[in-house]
Amino acid sequence: MRGMHQTSFLLLARTAAALALAATAAHAQTLSWTKRTTGVSSDITMNAATYGAGKYVVVGYRGTFVNGVNGIENQITTSTDGATWTARTTVPTNGAIRSLAYGSGVFAATVEDGNSTNLIVTSPDAVTWTARATGAGDLTSIAYGTGVITGGGTTPLFIGVGSANGGNNVVRSTDGVTWTRVNTGRTVDLFQVAYGKFVFLAISRSGTLLNSSNGTTWTAVTVPGLPSGATFLGITHDGSQFLLLVNDASRNPQIFVSGDGSAWAASGAKLTSATLFDGTIAGNGSLAAVIGASSINGNVVFTAPVTSGLFATVGAWSAPQNLDTSGFGFVFVTHVNNLWITGGYSAALYTAAGTGGGSGGTGGGTTAPSITTQPAAQTAGVGGSVTFSVAASGTGNTYQWLLNGNAVAGATNAAYTIAAVTTASAGSYSVRVTNNGVSTTSNAATLTVTGGATGGGSAGAYLSNLSIRTAAGSGAQTLIVGLNIGGAGTSGTKNVLIRGIGPALAGFGVSGTLADPRLEAFSGQTSIATNDNWDTTQTPLATQTGVGAFALTPGSKDAALIGANIPSGSYSVQITGNGGATGIALAEIYDLTPSSSFTATTPRLANISARAQVGTGGDILITGFNLSGTGTRRLLIRGIGPTLDAFGVSGTLADPKLEVYNAANTLVASNDNWDATATPNATQTAAGGFALTAGSRDAAVIVTLAPGTYTAQVSGVGGTTGVGLVEIYELP
C-alpha cells in the first residue's frame, strides 16, 4: 500500500470489525483425500504442518518421557507438490515438536520435553535446524504474523505459547533467533495461538482467550454464549475471520466466530451425531474442519461457513470421513497454499486439494488463488513502454500491483503497463491476487531502467507519507503538521491528501478520541483550505484508499481534504477540536502522485514535520513516515525542544532524545544532544531547517535510508515532558 503502507497500521489491527462482507452461501463438503508416503518411520506421530520457502513441511516425533528422561526423536518430511514427500534429518533436540510456523524466511517450531529445556528450533530450509533457548515453560504452539509497534508501524513477529510458569507463558521474537519471555498476567496453561489481520489470539483448554496486537500486551476477551463446562479445542483464522472450536460438557462441538478477535458470536449447529473428545480446526475462507483423535478415530468432519457481515454462520456438519481405520486417529489438520493436510499416529499423512465449496464437493468455493504464470523481470529504457502480467487460477479474481511492496494506484488488472518508463519506475514489481478475501502474492519481478539514474539523488527514494497520532485540542495542544513541497530540480504543482481523523479511531479500539476535528491548511499566516466533516464528493473514498488510507465512514465528523495543484512552497496544517474539545487524533499527509509517473522533476514532500506535546511511555512523540521510489534517500531528522523557546513556544521539552526505527522495529539511528560536527548547522539550514543553538540539548541525525516505512520517536531524557517538534528533511 503506497502512501500509508505501514505507518497507520496501528489503526488497521481492527479493520475487520469495520468491513461488511458480501453474503455467500456454501454447503457441507466432502473432500477427496489421498494417503501419502512420508518416508519417515511408521512409529512417528505426524504433529504439525506448514508451507514456506516453496515447500510443504510436516514434523513428527516418536518416543515418550520417562521419569524426566527423554526418549524422543523428531523427524521432518518435506514436499514441493504435496504428493511426493522426502524424509529429512532429525531435529537437534529430543523433545517433541508440537507446532510449526514459517515467516521472514524462517521455519520455527516449538519443542516440549520432560526436562523443560523449553526450546524453539529454527531453520531456513527445513533441513538444517538450530536450537534456540527461550527460558519459558513448555511451549506447545507457535504462530507468525505482523505485530503492531508503538506509533503505528509494524514488525514481523513470531509468538509461542505454553504452560503458565508463573504467568510467563508467551515468548516473542522478531527474527526467530532472539526470544523474549512475556508475562501475560494469567497463570493459565495456553496451548494454541493463531494469527490474523494484525491480531494474535491465544487460548487455554479451560476457556481463556487472550488478544494481542504486539505480543507483549495481552487482553482477556470474553466469548458470549459459551456452553456450560465449555472446553476450547482449537482456533484458526481462515483469511476472513477467526474460528474457535468449543466443546460443551457433553462433548458436542460448535464453532464461534469473530472478524476482529474481540467481538464473538456463536455460529452454526452443534455436532451431535458423534461426540468429540479432542480436535483441531482449520479453514480456507469457505470451510472449517475438525478432527477427532479419540472419539471419532480416523475421521475428518467438515462444515461450510456462510459469511454475512462481521460474523459467519456455519452450516450443517457433513458426515465424518473415515480415512484411517487403525484406531489411532489424527493429531492435526491445516490448510496451507491450497492444500489440506491432516496427519497423526503411525506416520499417517493425508492431503486433499484446496479447491471446493458448493454442494457435494462439486461447487467452486473460496481458496487462495494459485499463481500459474509469474511476472517476468524486464529491462526498459527511459521513455519506453513495459508490461507486467500474471495468470492465476480461479474466477472473479481481483488484482493489485505492488512496487517495492507499495500498491500502485490504478494498477488493478492482470496486466500492468507503464506507458512511459522513468528512472523512478525501476524497482521490484509483484501482484497480489485476491478471491473473496483470500490473497496470494506473486514472485517479485525486477524492472531495470536504462538511460538514466536509477537510485539515489532526486530520482531515487522520496518521502510519500507522514502520520502522527497524539492528543489534540486547542492552544498548546493544537496538532500542527508542516510540509514543504518542491525539491531541487523540480517544477510544476503537487496534489496531496490531508486528513484529520478523530471519530474513525474509535472503530479501531482507540478510546478518548477527538469527537469532531477541524482541519485547516495555511500558507504562511494565510488560511488556504479548511474542512470540518469530510465530504464524499470533494474527497472521494476511492482517492483516499487508492494511496493506502483506511476508509472513512460517510457522514462521520472526521476531516479530510485534497489539496490540488499546490505550488512549491511551505505549508502547515492545524488540527483542532470544535468547541475547544480535546482528544486523540491522527494527522496524515499523502502524496497523490502515482509511483508510476514519478520523475526526477516531480515536486516532492521535501520536508515534513509535526509539533505536539511529548509525554512518556505510549505518549512520546512518534511520527511515521514512508519512503517510496527506488535507490536510497539521505535525510536529516531532528527532535527539537529547547530551541523552540526562541520562537515563543512555552513548556518545551528540555532534553529530547531522537530514535529512528525501521518497519522491523530495528533501531537505525539515534541521538541525544546534537553534534555540530556530525550534523553541521550549515547542512541543516541548507535543507530549510532553522539553526540550532550551539550546545543545546536538541537532537539531530543524518541517515541514508532505502524505500520503506520508518518511525521517528522523540522522548524526554529522564522521563521529562513538554512540547516537541520532529522534522524530516531530504538532503542532496
Q: How confident is the model at residue 438 (pLDDT cuts 50, 70, 90)?
A: low
pLDDT at 662: 86
Summarised one tens digit per residue, pLDDT across range 278-293 is 567 776 655 666 665 4
Hunting for cell 462433548 — which residue is that?
251
> Which region among 118-122, 171-175, 300-304, 556-560 has the lowest average model confidence (pLDDT)?
300-304
What is the model's pTM?
0.51
Q: Residue 84 above 90 pLDDT?
A: yes
Q: Residue 347 above 50 pLDDT?
A: yes
For residue 705, what are the CA distances in angstroms to 14, 254, 668? 30, 50, 9
pLDDT at 164: 74
Contact 550, 541 (CB under 8 A): no
pLDDT at 17: 26
| Helix (H), strand (E) at residue 302 | strand 299-303
d(CA 598, CA 422): 7
Summarised one tens digit per residue, pLDDT across range 597-609 is 888 888 888 888 8
Q: How confident is the model at residue 663 (pLDDT cuts 50, 70, 90)?
A: confident
* Better pLDDT: 491 or 653: 653
Summarised one tens digit per residue, pLDDT across range 3-45 is 333 344 332 322 222 222 222 333 445 677 899 998 888 888 8
Q: Residue 325 above 90 pLDDT?
A: no
> Which region among 68-77, 107-116, 580-589, 614-623 has the lowest average model confidence (pLDDT)?
68-77
d(CA 247, CA 251): 5
Burial, 32: exposed, middle or buried (Cβ in 10 Å; 0-12, 13-18, 19+)?
exposed
pLDDT at 64: 53
Helix (H, G, I), strand (E, B) or coil at 544: helix
pLDDT at 292: 56
d(CA 308, CA 259): 11
Summarised one tens digit per residue, pLDDT across range 355-387 is 433 222 222 233 456 788 888 888 877 667 788
Q: Residue 348 above 70 pLDDT?
A: yes
C-alpha cell at 313: 454462520
Q: Which of 511, 480, 486, 509 is nearest to 609 (CA)?
A: 480
Q: Residue 638 above 90 pLDDT?
A: yes
Q: Which of 523, 469, 581, 608 is nearest to 150 (CA)?
A: 469
Taking residues 482-492, what's their average pLDDT?
83
pLDDT at 367: 47
Q: Which domains are delineated in the chain?
A: 9-361 (2.130.10.10), 371-450 (2.60.40.10), 457-731 (2.60.120.380)
The DSSP bridge pattern shows strands 378-381 and 445-450 to be: parallel
Q: Which of 425, 406, 439 is nearest to 626 (CA)?
A: 406
> Of 252-256, 453-457, 494-498, 566-570, where does the model show the most confidence?
494-498
Q: How confident is the model at residue 149 (pLDDT cuts 50, 70, 90)?
A: low
Hunting for cell 525501521 — which residue is that?
662
d(CA 180, CA 172): 5
Contact 560, 539 (CB under 8 A): yes
pLDDT at 47: 86
Taking residues 196-225, what's their average pLDDT?
91
Taking residues 100-107, what's their average pLDDT?
85
pLDDT at 272: 56
d(CA 78, CA 124): 13
pLDDT above 90 covers a percentage of the chain that reads 18
pLDDT at 486: 85
pLDDT at 193: 95
Average pLDDT over all residues of the chain: 78
Q: Residue 127 above 80 pLDDT?
A: yes
> Which region among 23-27, 237-241, 724-728 has the lowest average model confidence (pLDDT)?
23-27
